[in-house]
Structure 1
């Protein structure tokens, strides 16, 4: 189930930060692509700037907690992540404001990476770099389901386009991440199929919690208008 779009009719702010994050991720990936898909230069780049659990646990390369969020492992990885960010990010940005949204995105991304590291220190994946924006984007989904759970979302389901409520689409996605995280805990590799499910689950939980708190402090503009009406 892939999202194609959502209801943006009540947005009051342009998603400039969301668009900027997408642009930055694409630019970094194009640089990766320029190094050659099988080149040693690319492998060295990923190893240097990706988040390697055993290295971070030793206190080395802490900057990779941040830089790893802007690296991707291939076109499908990049396009899938950017599609989710494009569909859901602008609503959350509208709710929080540009600066708070950027801080929220980075914080949930850091928490997601930390969750991945904690569950991989004693696994076969401890020496493998983790890359991708999916942890931070999972945080965006967590905040979205808190504040916009009734929004309509167009999704691609097989060969058909369907419209479903956001709580259903994101809820099913979240269940999959938690089930996969639980399953991989009992295996020798926490990144089943190359996917860091623990990062997704950690980012989502962080997004739900932070989104809930911030939405109480600063309600989304469209929700605030509804309360005044």
Structure 2
């Protein structure tokens, strides 16, 4: 059986806009870098690829041999102190690691979710806020993975999944009634599309990632940066409110989140209608 998420229906019942250039720019950068990684591997071998990834990913062992023995609060201080020294390139590598991926399968999963949800979040936040949100989410989710590491997974992580989970968290805040459309294929006889509430899909995934992180199954055995996923999601959920557009106007309304989601959906519908009129030749 094949089950793949293919699109979303937000609170207005539609998705994907025409002017979300930050959203598509981020996807393009991730794809371009992964293509370069593939070329590097094919042209110069695994050694060259490893050297490239090591050069642009964060190495937690630089934090010292006693890092894992320290309590959580002290780990946070050690990491913050290390990152504050700009000559260490720690912040740059935390950010760069967000755009590196361990192959096209890793890239596909992250970009599929980002493609489905990110345009809506960019429209809700605005271009500049969305860009800063994504970049900071990438850094902070990688920080979360480092400070919550165990001996088994104390290594540099790569991938946009932490930032993508932040996008998912913000999406859930902005569009609480949204649905995710899944394509299913069973043998050659049954296939089709069905919709599931985004709260169910994203909520279950977050709970599973949280359970794996707490139990250690994901990072310790599956080579998955689950603490980055958890950290990113929580960051996105918390920052969605202060980063939204027109936040002053919505702040004092009763049931502000629902009112904001409704006004956002109305604006999206009006823009689609406006774009539709200009799509036809007069």
User: Shorter chain as normaliser: what TM range?
Assistant: 0.7 to 0.9
2:145 matched to 1:145? no
- Mark the CA change 1:155 to 1:227 in structure 2 (over 3 Å): closer, same or farther: closer
Task: Give the SS at the match of 1:35.
Answer: helix
Q: Deviations over 1:121-162 (max 9, x none)?
A: x51332x32100000000000001111121121024574532
**Aligned residue for 1:162?**
194
- Mark the CA change 1:29 to 1:114 in structure 2 (over 3 Å): closer, same or farther: same
- Mark the CA change 1:213 to 1:145 in structure 2 (over 3 Å): closer, same or farther: same
Q: Deviations over 1:161-219 (max 9, x none)?
A: 320111111111111111111111xx7x8343111000000000000000133348266
Residues 11 and 94 in structure 1, CA contact (< 8 A), matched pair in contact too: no
**TM-score w.r.t. structure 1 length?**
0.87
Deviation larger for 202-211 or 174-183: 174-183
2:188 matched to 1:173? no
Which of 110, 123, 140 aligns to 2:151? It is: 123
Distance 1:27 1:82 in 2: 12
Query: Which residues in structure 2 correspond to 1:1-229 (within 5 Å)?
Result: 2-7=4-9, 9=14, 14-36=19-41, 39-55=46-62, 57=79, 60-62=88-90, 63-120=92-149, 122-126=150-154, 128-156=155-183, 159=186, 161-184=193-216, 190-215=219-244, 217=247, 223-224=262-263
* RMSD, aligned α-carbons: 2.6
Deviation, 1:226, is 6.7
Residues 150 and 167 in structure 1, CA contact (< 8 A), matched pair in contact too: yes
Residues 161 and 229 in structure 2, CA contact (< 8 A), matched pair in contact too: yes
Distance 1:72 1:163 in 2: 29
Q: How many residues align?
A: 223
Distance 2:21 2:117 in 1: 13
Distance 2:33 2:140 in 1: 22
Task: Give the SS at the match of 2:157.
Answer: coil
Structure having the larger proportion of residues in helix: 2
| Larger Rg, first or second structure (1 or 2) | 2
Deviation, 1:14, is 2.4
Structure 1 stretches of 5 or more lacking a match? none
